[in-house]
A and B are shown apart, each in its own frame.
Chain A
Amino acid sequence: MENLDDLKRSKSILMPFSSSDFYSAFFQSGETSSSSLSNNNEISHLLIDVKKQYGKNLTSFQLYHIAKIFESFSYIQDEIEPERLTSFSYYFNEDDEFLIYRKSRIGLTNIIIHDEECIAFSFIGRNTGDRDLIFYEEGEIDYEKLAYKFFAK
Chain B
Amino acid sequence: MENCKLDYIPVRLHSNDRPPIRNFRVGHLLYHRASPEEIENPYKKVTIAELSHNLGGDTEKPLSSPGDVLFSVKEDEEAERYIDKEVCTLRIISLNEKNQYEKEFTQEKNGHLATARIKLIHDPVPCMYPHCIFRIWLNGVVVTFGSYKQTLKKWRKIRTELKQELASMIIQKAVSQK
In the complex the two chains form, is B41's CB within 8 Å of A131's CB? no
A-contacting residues, B81-133, CB 8 Å? 93
Q: Interface residues of B, CB < 8 Å — how many? A: 20
Given A107-B171, A124-B172, A135-B157, are A129 and B41 neighbors across the interface (CB < 8 Å)? no
Instruction: Please indicate the chain B residues that have their CB under 8 angstroms from the CB of A125 in the complex.
Output: 171-172
- Name the residue of chain B whose CB is nearest to the CB of A130: B172
Cβ of A112 < 8 Å from any Cβ of B?
A: yes
Q: What is the distance, in angstroms, from B96's C-beta to the closest C-beta of chain A?
A: 16
Q: Is the interface of B mostly helix, strand, loop or mixed?
A: helix
On chain B, the residues within 8 Å of A101 by CB distance are 41, 43
Partner among A91, A129, A135 whose Cβ is within 8 Å of the Cβ of B178: A129
On whether A97 and B43 interact (CB within 8 A), knowing A118-B157, A124-B164, A133-B161, the answer reads yes
Interface size on A, residues (CB 8 A): 27
Whether A124 contacts B156 by the Cβ 8 Å rule is: no
A122 at interface, CB cutoff 8 A: yes
Known contacts A101-B41, A110-B43, A112-B43; is-contact A95 B153 (Cβ 8 Å): yes
Contact in complex: B43, A93 (CB < 8 Å): yes
- Distance of B64 from chain A, by nearest CB (Å): 23
Q: Is A117 an interface residue (CB 8 A)?
A: yes
Verify if A145 is at the interface (C-beta below 8 Å from B). Answer: no
Contact A122 B164 (CB under 8 A): yes
B46 to chain A, nearest CB (A): 9
Q: Which label, helix, strand, loop or mixed, suits the secondary structure of the A interface?
A: strand
In the bound complex, how far is the Cα of B172 from the Cα of A120, in angstroms? Answer: 20
Determine the chain A residues whose CB is within 8 A of the CB of B171 once the complex forms: 107-108, 124-126
Q: Give CA–CA (A107, B170) in the complex, Å.
A: 12
CB distance from A92 to the nearest CB of B (A): 9
In the assembled complex, how far is the CB of residue B104 from the closest CB belonging to chain A, in whole angstroms? 15
For B157, the chain A residues whose CB sits under 8 A away are 118, 120, 135
Mark interface residues in A74-105 (1 if CB within 8 Å of B CB, else 0).
00000000000000000101110101010100
Task: Tell me the complex Cα distance, A117–B110, Å.
Answer: 12
Given contacts A107-B171, A120-B157, 13 further A-B contacts (CB under 8 A): A93-B43, A95-B153, A99-B41, A108-B41, A114-B160, A122-B43, A125-B172, A128-B174, A128-B176, A129-B172, A129-B176, A130-B172, A131-B164
Interface on B for A, CB 8 Å cutoff?
40-41, 43-45, 93, 153, 156-157, 159-161, 164, 167-168, 171-172, 174, 176, 178
Taking beta carbons and an 8 Å cutoff, which residues of A are in contact with B? 91, 93-95, 97, 99, 101, 103, 107-108, 110, 112, 114, 117-118, 120, 122, 124-131, 133, 135
Give 9 closest A-B pairs by Cβ, nearest first.
Answer: A124-B171, A128-B174, A128-B172, A133-B164, A114-B156, A120-B160, A110-B43, A124-B168, A91-B44
Q: What are 12 A-B contacts with C-beta separation under 8 Å?
A: A93-B44, A99-B41, A107-B171, A108-B167, A110-B41, A124-B167, A124-B172, A126-B171, A128-B174, A129-B172, A133-B164, A135-B157
